[in-house]
A = this chain, B = another copy of it.
Amino acid sequence: MGGFDTIDWRNGKVVMLDQRRLPVAETYMECESVAEVADAIRTMVIRGAPAIGCAAALGVALAAHGARAAGRDAVRRAAVDAARELAETRPTAVNLFWALERMKTALESAAPQTAAADLAARLLEEALRIRDEDIAANRRMGQLGAGLLPATCAVLTHCNAGALATGGYGTALGVIRAAVEQGKTVTVFADETRPLLQGARLTAWELGRDGIDVTVIPDGAAATLMRQGRIDLAVVGADRIARNGDVANKIGTYSVAVLCASHGLPFYVAAPTSTLDLAAASGEQIPIEERGRDEVTTVGGALLVPPEARVLNPAFDVTPARLVTAIITERGVARPPYGESLAALCRNVP
């Protein structure tokens, strides 16, 4: 898909496509330390819940790799410290914590006498497995989700839940890709998604590279397109899904869900089961990151808001389960009531 790698391991470094520079430039950032990986997550060089999970896992592997020469205890210590540091980067996407847990389990499950180099190799293997499993999950999700799309349809999506937001292929955009691969005629409307414009910059870029028809719209234009009958359904990703089916996702998602309900349109969420947080009873337990005012006040060096004005910049919102038509995961499509259907999917581990 598209011929780019969102995140990879090359020559002992974690390499990420620098998403801040898209669509103007396709450049790769090489991280040589955990601090650089943490900073890349924090500053959104890489973003999207599953991609953040992959980056965090590779960050732990990078720390272990760097401590190889210092012996097995140093490797263990470096991995544990890295996980602690990476857990502090962003609070909302649960995939980050899920991936760090997997890395810790891999570390703990290694025999005590495992050599330093073997331990580091094992952690790297686990991190790359997390990424590759994510890609496979997205392809499976795509297959399952594509069945929900009519043979010809116009799909609204918000933010970027594509190859750039994941190990590859994408969640919401994976559903669209799979539908197109199945021969369906899909046109996509991409909310530009202020403040960071992931729809305009990233979704339009990656769908364009795959030759999928995409039209960028200001976030405020989605409602009138729905009223005009020009949108058939919406599909978005998720940063964390609570046990009851409440969905945290990029700010503006809840608005899309309300608009879908009020126009009688399906609102689908596509996310791997690593996005489920069964410890959260509802969306109220999901921490919502507030980001800085500069993301709203400044674009390309232009000052858009008077310096003395206050600004609110919540990075995510919560869509209540009652507005979600279905949740598409790699293990199946969950329908309301989600308390039961999501729990069933989680029991159904392959």
User: Which B residues lie within 8 Å of A200 (CB)?
Assistant: 296-297, 304-305, 309
Q: How far is the CB of A45 from chain B (nearest CB, A)?
A: 17
A301 CA / B158 CA spacing, docked (Å): 24
Q: Is A218 at the interface (CB under 8 A from chain B)?
A: yes
Interface segment, A77-85, A106-114, A127-135, A247-255?
A247-255
User: Which B residues lie within 8 Å of A265 (CB)?
Assistant: none
Given A306-B23, A310-B215, A317-B221 contact (CB < 8 Å): yes
Q: Is A195 at the interface (CB under 8 A from chain B)?
A: yes
Q: Is A217 at the interface (CB under 8 A from chain B)?
A: yes
Secondary structure type dominating chain A contacts? mixed
Contact B255 A220 (CB under 8 A): yes
Contact B223 A306 (CB under 8 A): no
User: Which B residues lie within 8 Å of A303 (CB)?
Assistant: 23-24
A333 CA / B252 CA spacing, docked (Å): 32
Contact A218 B313 (CB under 8 A): yes
- Which of B218, B302, B309, B311 contacts A195, CB < 8 Å? B218
Interface segment, A163-171, A201-209, A268-276?
A201-209
Q: Is A300 at the interface (CB under 8 A from chain B)?
A: yes
- Which of B219, B253, B262, B296 contacts A262, CB < 8 Å? B262
A159 and chain B: residue at smallest CB distance: B220
Q: Is A177 at the interface (CB under 8 A from chain B)?
A: no
Contact A224 B258 (CB under 8 A): no
Q: How far is the CB of A189 from chain B (nearest CB, A)?
A: 8
A213 CA / B309 CA spacing, docked (Å): 8
Q: How far is the CB of A183 from chain B (nearest CB, A)?
A: 22
Given A215-B312, A313-B218, A305-B255 contact (CB < 8 Å): no
Given A300-B302, A305-B201, A310-B216 contact (CB < 8 Å): yes
A286 CA / B195 CA spacing, docked (Å): 31
Q: Which of A192, A220, A309, A312 has the most CB of B within 10 A?
A: A220
Contact A309 B208 (CB under 8 A): yes
Contact B251 A220 (CB under 8 A): yes
Q: How far is the CB of A276 from chain B (nearest CB, A)?
A: 21
A205 and chain B: residue at smallest CB distance: B306
Q: How far is the CB of A237 from chain B (nearest CB, A)?
A: 15
Given A258-B262, A302-B299, A304-B197, A224-B251 contact (CB < 8 Å): yes
Q: Which of A23, A225, A303 has the most CB of B within 10 A?
A: A23
User: Which B residues lie within 8 Å of A310 (CB)?
Assistant: 213-216
User: Which B residues lie within 8 Å of A222 (CB)?
Assistant: 255
Show the binding face of A for B, using Cβ within 8 Å: 23-24, 158, 189, 191-195, 197, 200-201, 204-205, 208, 213-225, 227, 250-255, 258-259, 261-262, 296-297, 299-306, 308-314, 317-318
4 pairs of A and B residues whose beta carbons are closest in the complex:
A220-B252, A300-B302, A223-B255, A224-B317
Sample 19 A-B pairs with CB under 8 A, ordered by A number: A23-B304, A192-B194, A195-B218, A200-B296, A201-B305, A215-B310, A216-B305, A216-B310, A218-B251, A218-B296, A219-B219, A221-B312, A222-B255, A223-B255, A224-B254, A224-B314, A225-B312, A258-B262, A302-B302
Known: A205-B309, A214-B309, A219-B219. 9 other contacts (CB 8 A): A23-B304, A197-B304, A200-B297, A200-B309, A216-B297, A216-B310, A220-B317, A223-B254, A223-B258
